[in-house]
């Protein structure tokens, strides 16, 4: 082997490896590049040592490889120290990038639900197909309201929280299938529309809104965000742009895993409202005010804090990290 020629041929690659290894923070794309550089550098170091033994060039490459290896296998800092960055930068940035898709999902859901409600209330045959008059009377006068208080508040909160969090996680996890998210959105809109139609048909439209709004404003918004995340993953597969499909899916999936984690906390708040506020014997302006305040706080977090995080260069990608933290990369 001509050591000088070999070193000259790979000098740019080794310099890039050393540069990435010294950086304090890496983006998702840079993290993937670092792994690729590390793998090729390890092969080249092996070739150097096999042909020329210990050399100055080999020693320099070995130092670069060691620094790179510490980026993703080194001892990590306390995970707790990374929590503020997750909630202040990563999560709001990831949510902000979904704002327009979230709005689109919300508009479609409301439109479909309204169409179902208007059609059923104006069509006695459609209303009769839902159930017998006695069954619908029972739903309107008993079941709809009793649903929120038939179980202890704490257990009911846990039930709706886990159920909604599971639905949100499914939207993001199965979004790549393309059909799953539209199915969930349309099914949810259909259920809301049918329930609203029955309540309005029997003169209980006010009861419908009074029991849906306190928790539903935040809960439905969180589901809209999850659906938007699933659609974003599907679109990354359909139209990756300049990226390869694998790269687009990896980058968007990492960012949207941030959203999935964040929505667990959002849905916990909506679950607490549904379990403790919605059935409480408080004035309705108070209960709806609590729900509205929760929604406004979430929207401010998503849009205001999220915009600031994005302008600061945050992507919401979990592959980004600070030096000293535990690194996990996706190929």
Residue 171: name the closest of 112, 233, 250, 113 by CA: 233
Domains identified in the chain, total number: 2
Residue 174: name the closest of 163, 185, 159 by CA.
185
Domain end point (choices 73, 94, 122): 73
55 has a pLDDT exceeding 80: no
What's the pLDDT at 85? Answer: 84
173 and 270 in a single domain? The answer is: yes
Is residue 331 predicted with pLDDT exceeding 50?
no
- Residues 120 and 136: their CA atoms lie apart, in Å, by 13
Co-location of 285 and 158 in the same domain: yes
Based on the fold, state whether residues 168 and 273 are members of the same structural domain. Answer: yes
The whole-number average pLDDT for the span 182-205 is 95
- Determine whether 205 is exposed, middle or buried from the number of CB atoms within 10 Å of its CB (0-12, 13-18, 19+): middle
Structure-model confidence comparison of residues 235 and 79, the more confident one: 235
Q: What is the pLDDT of residues 263-290, one digit of tens each?
A: 999 999 999 999 999 999 999 999 999 9
The structure tokens listed for 210 are 């009074």
Same domain, yes or no: 35 and 154: no
Tell me what the mean pLDDT of segment 58-69 comes to: 79
Question: Of all residues in the chain, what percent carry a pLDDT higher than 90?
Answer: 56
Residues 136 and 211 in one domain: yes
Find the domain containing 200 and state its range. Answer: 81-312
Q: Can you give the pLDDT at residue 105?
A: 97
Answer whether 0.85 is exceeded by the pTM: no
Q: Is residue 32 part of a domain?
A: yes
Q: Is residue 219 predicted with pLDDT exceeding 50? A: yes
> What are φ and ψ of residue 26, in 5° steps?
-120, 140
Highest average pLDDT, of 41-50, 69-78, 253-262, comes from: 253-262
**Shared-domain flag, residues 42 and 168:** no
Q: Using the Cα atoms of residue 231, residue 236, residue 241 and residue 242 in order, give the sign of their dihedral.
A: positive
Query: Rounded to an integer, what distance in angstroms lies between the CA atom of residue 114 and that of residue 196?
Result: 9
Angle CA 173–229–184, to nearest 5? 70
Q: Are residues 207 and 97 in the same domain?
A: yes
Answer yes or no: is 206 within a domain: yes
């Amino acid at each position: 082997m001509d050591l000088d020629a070999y070193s000259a041929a790979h000098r740019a690659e080794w310099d890039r490896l050393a540069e990435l290894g010294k950086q304090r923070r890496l983006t998702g794309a840079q993290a993937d590049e670092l792994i690729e550089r590390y793998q090729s550098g390890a092969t080249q170091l092996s070739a150097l040592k096999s042909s020329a033994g210990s050399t100055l060039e080999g020693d320099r490459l070995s130092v670069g490889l060691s620094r790179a290896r510490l980026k993703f296998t080194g001892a990590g800092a306390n995970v707790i120290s990374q929590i503020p960055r997750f909630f202040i930068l990563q999560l709001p940035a990831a949510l902000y990038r979904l704002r327009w898709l979230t709005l689109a999902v919300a508009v479609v859901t409301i439109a479909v639900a309204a169409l179902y409600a208007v059609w059923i209330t104006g069509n006695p045959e459609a209303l009769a197909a839902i159930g017998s008059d006695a069954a619908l009377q029972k739903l309107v006068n008993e079941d709809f309201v009793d649903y929120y208080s038939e179980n202890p508040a704490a257990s009911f909160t846990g039930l709706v929280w886990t159920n909604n969090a599971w639905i949100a996680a499914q939207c993001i996890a199965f979004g790549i299938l393309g059909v799953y998210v539209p199915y969930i959105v349309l099914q949810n809109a259909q259920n809301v529309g049918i329930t609203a139609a029955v309540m309005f048909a029997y003169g209980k439209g006010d009861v419908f809104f009074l029991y849906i709004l306190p928790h539903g404003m935040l809960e439905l918004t969180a589901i809209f965000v999850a659906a938007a995340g699933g659609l974003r993953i599907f679109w990354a597969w359909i139209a990756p742009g300049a990226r390869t499909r694998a790269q687009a899916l990896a980058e968007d999936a990492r960012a949207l895993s941030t959203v999935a984690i964040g929505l667990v906390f959002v849905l916990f708040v909506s679950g607490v409202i549904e379990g403790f506020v919605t059935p409480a014997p408080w004035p309705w302006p108070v209960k709806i005010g609590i729900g509205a305040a929760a929604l406004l706080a979430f929207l401010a977090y998503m849009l205001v804090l999220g915009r600031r995080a994005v302008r600061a260069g945050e992507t919401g990608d979990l592959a980004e990290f600070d030096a000293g933290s535990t690194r996990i990369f996706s190929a």
